[in-house]
Amino acid sequence: MPQKQKILARGAEAILIHQGTHLLKRRVQKRYRHPALDAQLRTRRTKLESRILEKASNLVAVPKVLHVREHEIEMEFIPGKVLSEALDSLTPKHNPWRSYNLESDLHLLWKRICTKKTKQNLLHRLRSWIPF
């Protein structure tokens, strides 16, 4: 019997589909790109993201990667807020007593992660993969 599917989010790069205890991230085709280039980019980005998740699991809590297909990653579903909802809840409109600076907050979080795990030599590999 097939599991019930629910689309959790639809973004420019992918669709997130909740399937029972799993989450499926399916990279969407870009019709403005040449089909061969599009397939190559989506495959490469999918593989890269799955490797990042596996390496990052030594640093922070991330979903466990279960299967990687050409343009899809099937991973464990972790209930809770998505990052955009969590960040929105930090803004002054919801918490007027707190000054909010996303860039500095993310920088502090990154420093905490790096400080915690510098000894593992994973930091240098992750830095080259993260675009900020």
Is residue 121 over pLDDT 70?
A: no
Residues 6+ apart with CB under 8 A from 104: none
| pLDDT tens-digit series, residues 76-117 | 998 887 666 766 666 556 555 555 566 677 777 777 666 655
Give the helix ranges, DSSP H, for 31-101: 35-56, 83-88
Q: Using 50, 70 and 90 to split pLDDT, how confident is the model at 122?
A: low
Mean pLDDT comparison of 8-12, 42-46, 109-113, highest-scoring range: 42-46
Residue found by looking up tokens 């980005």 in the block? 45
Domains in the chain, CATH or no CATH each: 1-79 (3.30.200.20), 80-132 (no CATH)
Tokens for 68, please give them. 């990687």
Long-range contacts of 18-22 (CB under 8 A, 24+ apart): 18/77, 19/77, 20/77, 21/76, 21/77, 22/66, 22/74, 22/75, 22/76, 22/77
pLDDT confidence of residue 97: 53
Angle between helices 102-117 and 122-129 (to 10 degrees): 150
How many H-runs (helices) and E-runs (strands) does the chain carry? 4, 5
pLDDT in tens, 12-39: 899 999 999 999 999 999 999 999 999 9
Q: Look at residue 60 in the predicted model and tell me its pLDDT.
A: 77
Give 129 or 46, the one with higher predicted confidence.
46
Confidence band of 67 (pLDDT split at 50, 70, 90): very high
Q: Is the dihedral of CA 44, 110, 94, 80 positive or negative?
A: positive
Per-residue pLDDT, 109:
72
